[in-house]
Amino acid sequence: MCVDWERLNELKDDIGEEDFADVATLFVSELQDTLSGMQVATAAAEDFHFLRGSAANLGFTALVAACSRAEAAAKAGEAPDVAAVKSAFNAALAEMSAKMPDLAMAA
């Protein structure tokens, strides 16, 4: 499972049904924008830190884990696994598509 549905529903409850789609779409869009141009050679620890925070807000657990590993690698001067981060993001969107097709299509 790539999405913590309890966390995502918690976010929905916190901000209200009416505003949830806009806020979640913004998070997904920002994740997509950051990931779309990311390359191993230019990815920085700060990029993965940003992605991890947004992913945590949405309950994208697999993406949080992939970003944590990539951030640690970047800080250690090692090549981060950008492909794993992108794969985790795509898996979370695929899982969401059945329950929240509008949000998954925002990316």
Convert the pLDDT of each residue in 57-79 to its tens digit. Answer: 889 999 999 999 999 999 999 99
Parse the chain into domains and list their residue ranges.
Answer: 5-104
% pLDDT > 90, the chain: 54
For residues 46 and 67, what is the distance between their CA atoms, to the nearest angstrom? 10
pLDDT at 98 (0 to 100): 78
Report the chain's mean pLDDT, rounded to a whole number: 89
Least confident among 29-33, 76-80, 97-101: 97-101
Query: What is residue 62's three-state secondary structure?
Result: helix
What's the confidence (pLDDT) of residue 81?
Answer: 95
pTM here is 0.87
Distances (CA, A) of 21 to 32, 37, 81, 86, 90: 16, 25, 30, 22, 19
Quote the pLDDT of residue 26. 87
